[in-house]
Amino acid sequence: MAAVRILQLTDLHVFKDPGVRLKGIPTRELLEDVVRHIIDSGRNFDHVVVTGDHTHDEMPQSYQAVRTILSPWLDRLWQVPGNHDDRTVLRSVFGDRIRGSGQEQINFSFNAGGWLCLGIDTHVPGSVSGKIEPDQINWIRQQIDLVNPERVALFQHHPPVDVGSFWMDSIGLEGKERLQNLFLEEHRIQLVCCGHVHHEFHGHAGNAHICTTPATGIQFSPAGTQATFVAEPPGYRVIELTDDGFFTNVCRLPVTRFSPDN
């Protein structure tokens, strides 16, 4: 088969007021820059996945702004929530893309050639950290049994492994050992793409390659014992799934336009 190309965007942190900045970074303006950069590149994508933190204030107007900015890809958009999302409001604005109602978990499933792509909800209302419950592990197993794919890719907000950062790992994923055990049992899970940490990271668990992706707005440094923000350009991840495996790389905007307030 021809490669199935997926665009991953994460940690948008858009505000209701377009002029509001997050630690000095105009997140809405930079999201617009990222989308323009992608479109100008001429690359086409079969699927676009947002791995959480669509907004920072969780307001309906903020989600509507995100919907407007991502309008070129609404017919191929897939989403999971992050810690800065509200499931009910997210559903109300993207009701044509997200099934279920209210505070039910937001998952997705789509086929990409011989691959099965699953969106995993790690959101815990009111918490920065995420969580994986046994029922989510069962849901992943059920989807794999139903489709019987050759390979599986997961998309989620919180990484299922520590990323080697004291302050980031302290607000990571509770129950991540459940996913790690699943990776050891189910070798078809070969790729896990995450957000939350606002920088690029690569690791492994079982047969799964774990990667995180830079935010479309503010960038974090993994160093230190408390949150530190760095002057780096926003980015996104391109994923190509083939019969033989996958290829993925991070693309960043060519210049750093803004410096954060630390």
**Does residue 224 register a pLDDT over 90?**
no
Q: Rounded CA gap, 120 and 132, in Å? A: 9
Classified by CATH at the fold level, domain 4-252 comes out as: Purple Acid Phosphatase; chain A, domain 2 (3.60.21)
Q: In the predicted model, what is the mean pLDDT of the chain?
A: 97
pTM above 0.75, yes or no: yes
In this predicted model, what pLDDT tens digit does every residue of 151-165 receive, in sequence order?
999 999 999 999 999
**Does residue 91 register a pLDDT over 80?**
yes
| Residue range 173-188: mean pLDDT, rounded | 98
Q: Evaluate whether 109 touches 47 at the Cβ level (below 8 Å).
A: no
Q: With pLDDT > 90 as the criterion, what percentage of the chain qualifies? A: 96
Tell me which residue of 181, 182, 191 sits closest to 114, measured CA to CA. 191
In this predicted model, what pLDDT tens digit does every residue of 96-154 receive, in sequence order?
999 999 899 999 999 999 999 999 999 999 999 999 999 999 999 999 999 999 999 99
Give residue for tokens 């919180």: 158
Query: What pLDDT score was predicted for residue 1?
Result: 66
- Burial of 135: CB neighbours in 10 Å, binned 0-12, 13-18, 19+: exposed
In this predicted model, what pLDDT tens digit does every residue of 39-60 receive, in sequence order?
999 999 999 999 999 999 999 9
| Residue range 70-85: mean pLDDT, rounded | 98
CB atoms within 10 A of CB 14: 30
Print the SS3 string covering 175-187: CHHHHHHHHHHCC
What are the residue boundaries of the structural domains of the chain, listed by start? 4-252
CB atoms within 10 A of CB 62: 27
